[in-house]
């Protein structure tokens, strides 16, 4: 993957990323005691950093060369390179570089039997390591506090959101209930209106029937009166004759 990263960084001319990849490959080679590969990767990184102002990568490259020289038993050159890296690390406040340089200088001094210098470098290494660990712990505590605050804020936001959702659900429920009630009322009004229309229609039909029956009764009554009038007229003559006989 690092080789792929180097190829991509080279194509895109991302010098910083490409240099980081070479430095990482050099560290891996040093751990595996493949000093030829380590030197190759460090030289590639050094070439890339010729016009770079990245102090961190220059320091890491110098430290890589110093470690390589230490393993090759070139102690004086390793010490010089490590001191140069230490100076650059102090100037740029690169604490990881200061710690690694102090540790390497301790090993170089110890191998040279420079006990005093070895002890001083060891003290610097331990002091800086403790400071860095303390700083990391403080950062971790700060991160935990921030995460706790974020969690609390998130819970508060979720609580408020749930409350709003609950209110919205209540409003929605009321709205739905109101719509159902209104729909029921409209339905009943429509049914009543339809029933009223039917009753009015039936009433009109009955009224027409009654008027028709009334007309027929009047006609029958007139017919009866005419009939009785004719009968009375026809019987008037015979009844007079009968009375004269009596």
pLDDT in tens, 102-141: 888 888 888 888 888 777 777 777 777 666 554 454 445 4
Write the burial class of residue 4 (CB in 10 Å: 0-12 exposed, 13-18 middle, 19+ buried). Answer: exposed
CA-wise closest residue to 135 among 93, 107, 106: 93
CA distances from 10 to 14, 17, 60 (A): 6, 9, 20
pLDDT tens string 179-226: 999 989 999 999 888 888 998 888 888 888 888 888 888 888 888 878
How many Å is the maximal CA-CA distance in the chain?
Answer: 190
CB contact at 8 A, 66 and 42: no
Query: What's the predicted TM-score (pTM) here?
Result: 0.48
């Amino acid at each position: 993957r690092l080789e792929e990263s180097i190829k991509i960084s080279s194509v895109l001319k991302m010098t910083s990323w490409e240099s980081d990849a070479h430095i990482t490959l050099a560290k891996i080679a040093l751990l595996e005691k493949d000093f030829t590969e380590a030197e190759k990767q460090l030289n590639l990184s050094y070439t890339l950093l010729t016009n770079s102002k990245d102090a961190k990568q220059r320091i890491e490259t110098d430290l890589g060369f110093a470690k390589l020289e230490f393993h090759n038993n070139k102690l004086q050159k390793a010490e010089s390179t490590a001191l140069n890296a230490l100076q650059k690390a102090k100037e740029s406040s690169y604490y990881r570089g200061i710690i690694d340089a102090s540790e390497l200088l301790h090993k170089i001094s110890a191998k040279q039997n420079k006990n005093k210098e070895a002890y001083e470098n060891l003290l610097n290494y331990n002091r800086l390591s403790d400071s860095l660990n303390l700083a990391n712990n403080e950062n971790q505590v700060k991160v935990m506090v921030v995460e706790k605050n974020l969690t609390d804020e998130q819970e508060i936001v979720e609580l408020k959101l749930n409350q709003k959702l609950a209110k919205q659900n209540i409003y929605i429920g009321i709205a739905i209930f109101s719509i159902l009630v209104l729909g029921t009322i409209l339905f009943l009004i429509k049914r009543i209106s339809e029933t009223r229309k039917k009753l009015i229609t039936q009433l009109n039909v009955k009224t027409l029937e009654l008027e028709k029956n009334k007309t027929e009764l009047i006609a029958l009554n007139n017919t009866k009166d005419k009939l009785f009038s004719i009968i009375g007229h026809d019987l008037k003559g015979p009844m007079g004759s009968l009375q004269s006989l009596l």
